[in-house]
Structure 1
Amino acid sequence: MAQRHVDLVGYRVDAVDGHVGRVDRHSVYLDERHILVDTGVWVFGKEISVPMSAVADLDEDGRTVRLDMTREQLKQLYRDQTAAYFPTGS
């Protein structure tokens, strides 16, 4: 069975324990294994690259992506990604 492409841009994103943001329009520049989540003011207005493997459910009618992660796990993912791009020390 062939997979079909679903454009997730603008979809609401919920963690296990609450709303975290929306799929950012810049997701189209990532590979198909990640989505870029715009967290708005929740994590200081940042974007987090979330692996598709963290998607627990996709509700196309409700335009919602449900993640198999908590809000705290997403914050840690953001911290890890930031550290990878801006390492400290020498």
Structure 2
Amino acid sequence: MDRSCIVVDTGPWIFGRQVLLPAGVVSRIDSESRTVYVNCTKDEVKAAPGHRGGQHDSDVASIRLAEQYYANRHM
């Protein structure tokens, strides 16, 4: 099964972190302003499972963890 995800940076370099979101939470993309809109709150994104770039790019367990996190809300 193909699983699509996006990686979101939650803030500044030192204080932020990257989280993995299932592509299904994307509500729209504004290519002009280079903005991706998602169907979840800022707090939900910040509380999402973490992602370390380059380590989990094809890690099915990490993708499933993110899917399970968001499945309890609306997916």
| TM-score, normalised via structure 2 length | 0.53
| Alignment partner of 2:10 out of 28, 34, 39 | 39
Shift of 1:76: 2.4
Are 1:73 and 2:6 counterparts? no
Q: Structure 1: give runs of 5+ residues left out of the alignment.
A: 1-30, 82-90
Q: Which 4+ runs in 1 deviate beyond 6 A?
A: none
More strand by proportion, 1 or 2? 1
User: How many residue pairs are counted as aligned between the two chains?
Assistant: 51
The SS at the match of 1:78 is: coil
- What secondary structure sits across from 1:69 in the alignment? coil
Using the alignment, how far apart are the partners of 2:33 and 2:43 within structure 1? 24
Say which structure, 1 or 2, has more relative contact order (CA 8 Å, 6+ apart): 2
Which residue number in structure 1 is paired with residue 29 of structure 2?
Answer: 58
The share of aligned pairs that are identical, in percent, is: 33
- What is the root-mean-square deviation in Å for CA atoms of aligned residues? 2.8
Letter in 2 for 1:60: S
Where in structure 2 are there 5+ consecutive unaligned residues?
51-64, 67-75
Per-residue CA deviation, residues 24-81 of structure 1 (Å, 9 max, x unaligned), is: xxxxxxx86111111223xx32001111100011111111100100011112213776
